[in-house]
Copies of this chain bind each other. A is one copy, B any other.
C-alpha cells in the first residue's frame, strides 16, 4: 500500500512554514520555511506609533507558492518513492486575529495600486494595538448593552481583535474603510484563495476566528447585532451584512484546490483543503488535545488551549469560550500569557546581564539551575507585556521584588522563569475553579523543547507532570492532521480527529515530574505571588492597584 501524505501550511509572525506529513505516523518528511520579505522581518512598522503592526498580503501568497514548491522538491529528493499524487489534503493555520480589508472580488485592498503602500489596507497583524481606544469603547458598550458578548471573551474585548481594528480603520482611514467590501481573517483568506472561493460571499469562515475574535455565537444569531454595531458607528452596522452569517468547524473543508493553483504548485486538482484556523488551535490538535488536556504553546508569549465536552457558560478572564473552535462540537477555551520567552529575551538582550559571555540564555539557565527554589529571596510578576489571562489588562507592567546588594543575574533570570510559571498556574486554577478539570498538560514550542529547567520549574510550581509534544512544529502538524480528516476515509484519510490524532500525535517519553520539596516551597511563594497579583492587578483589592497605571499615565504625560 502506498503511503499517504498531507500538507500543513503554518503562517507565523515572521515566516510561513510548510510541512509534508506521513499521515500514518505524523512524521514530517519535509519542511520548508520562507521568511516574509516586506517590512521588518515581515512586519510593517511605524516609527511614530509603536502600536502599529501590519503585514503585506502579497507575502502570504508568495509564501505558499514558494514554500509548497520547495517542500515538494525536498520530499522528492529525500524520499525516492514520494509522489505528490499521494498528497491527499491540505490544511492551513495562521496568526490571528489578523484581518484584512478586501474588495468585492475578495482581493486585499493593498494589492490594488491605489492602496499599495497604505498600511491600513494591509493585514492588521494580531499584535497591532492601534485600536486600544476602540477596544475600550466596544467593551463599554457591550457591558451596558450586551454583557453576554463579553462572557465568551473573558469580560474584555481586546485591541487585537477583529471589530476593534475595523472600527479603528473606520475612524482613522475612512477611505480604506469605504473601499473595503468586506474584511477577512488571514486563516480564512488563504484556504479561500486556494479553493477559488475568494469572493467574500463564498468564503467559508472558521468558527475559531469568528467565535474567539468577532463575538460570533449561534446563541445570538451569529455576529453582534446590527443594532449593537450601529451604536458604535452606522457604517459598522452597514458592514455586517457583507461579513458572514455562518461558520465552519475543523472537520469541514474550505473547498477543493483549483485546477489553476494545482498546476502552479504541482499538486492534484480538487485536493480537499481543510477549513483554516488559528495556529494555536491547530497546534493544540497537533499536540493531541482531548477533553481534560491543557495544551501550552510556549513561545515569546503563550497560548493555552483547553477543550470541554461539558457546557461552559463563563470563565472570568479567559479570552474565549467557543463551541467547535478547536475540535468539532466540543467547547474550545483559549487563555494565554502576554509574554514568556519575550521576558527572558528582554533580560538577556536588553539588560544584557553579565555581558555577552556570561549573559546568554544557556549560561544563565545553567547557573539558575544550581539555585534552590526560594533561595534568592526574589519574586517577580510576569507582566512586562501586560496580562492577557486572567486579568485581561495590557496596562499592567513588570515587577521584581526582593533584591539585595548581592542579587545576581541568574537569580533574576530564575525569578522571571518562576513568574511565568506562577502565571501559568493562575490560568490552570482559573479553569479548575470553573469546573474544567485539567488532567494533563502538554507543552509545545521552542522553549518547552530546549529548556529543561523551565519545564522542571513549571512541574514544580504547578505540581503537575509536564509533557512535551513530540513534534517540533505542532501548528503545522495540526494543519496536516486537519487535512487528513478533510480528505476523509474515501481518499485514504481519517474518519475523525480522534483517529487522526491517535496515529499522528504523541508526546515525548521524557516527562517532567514535580519534586515534592520544591513544590512545598513554591506553594509559599505562590501565595505571595497571588498577593502581588491581586494587589497590583485588581482594583479595590488593596490600595496599590493604581501604581502601575499611574506610572503609565505619568509616562504618557511626559511624552506629550
Interface residues of A (CB under 8 A from B): 339, 342-343, 345-346, 350-356, 358-359, 372-379, 384-385, 397-409, 412, 521, 524-525, 528, 531-532, 535-536, 542-544, 546-548, 550-552, 554-555, 557-559
Contact = CB atoms under 8 A, between A and B. Distances in A.
A378 B403 CA distance: 16
Nearest to A342: B405
A521 B557 CA distance: 9
Contact of A531 (B524, B543, B558): B543
A551 B375 contact: no
Contacts of A558: 372-375, 521
A555 B374 contact: yes
Contacts of A544: 531-532, 535, 542, 544
Contact of A384 (B342, B359, B384, B405): B405
Given A397-B377, A542-B542, A558-B375, A405 B346 contact: yes
A107 to B, nearest CB: 36
A408 B552 CA distance: 16
A346 B411 CA distance: 14
A531 B547 contact: yes
Contacts of A532: 544, 547
Given A399-B400, A524-B554, 18 more contacts: A351-B407, A351-B408, A352-B355, A353-B353, A374-B551, A375-B555, A378-B551, A397-B401, A397-B402, A398-B402, A521-B554, A524-B550, A525-B551, A528-B550, A528-B551, A531-B543, A542-B543, A542-B544
A546 B543 CA distance: 15
A405 B542 contact: no
Nearest to A371: B558
Nearest to A300: B405
Given A352-B359, A355-B356, A528-B547, A403 B400 contact: yes
Nearest to A401: B399
A405 B532 CA distance: 20
Contacts of A557: 374, 521
